[in-house]
Amino acid sequence: MRCVVQEVSRASVTVAGEEVGAIGRGFMVLAGAEDGDTEADARYCAEKIAGLRVFEDEDGKMNRCLSDVGGSVLMVSQFTLLGDARHGRRPSFIRAARPEAAEPLFELLCEEVRRRGIHVETGRFRTHMEVSLVNDGPTTILLDSKKIL
């Protein structure tokens, strides 16, 4: 599972003109499931998202996590994170999990972050979404459950 985690001062997602999710301070997370991902991959990413210490403390050091700052997460499913653009000009999405496998993993990811005490808003799976955000920092972290040492 791949997740792009961006620190934001605010973020929202709109579907067909309707705002379906919005947060203030926290993380905007784009999450993509890879073919072969399991519940363990979703749990790994959830633990990392909830525990990332990238918010500044009183000394200006990246030392605080979401719960320390009362932050929230806006989680948006993004199969294009698995796009492979190494050959040609059109990315291949062959490594992206099929929607039937990806949606339960995305839902588990959201639930696991919530279970850690973090408020989570979401977009809508398999819809065209418009995402707005204000990066703070900017701080952007790429998580990949397959790149575990």
Cis ω for the linkage preceding 138 (within 30 of 0): yes
Q: Which of 6, 27, 55, 79 is catalytic?
A: 79
Q: Which listed residue (78, 93, 106, 127) is catalytic?
A: 78
Q: Look up 6 and say whether it is catalytic.
A: no
* Angstrom distances, CA of residue 119 to CA of 10, 13, 64, 111, 149: 14, 15, 16, 10, 29
Distance CA 121, CA 11 (A): 10
Is 80 catalytic? The answer is yes
Looking at the annotation, which residues are catalytic? 78-80
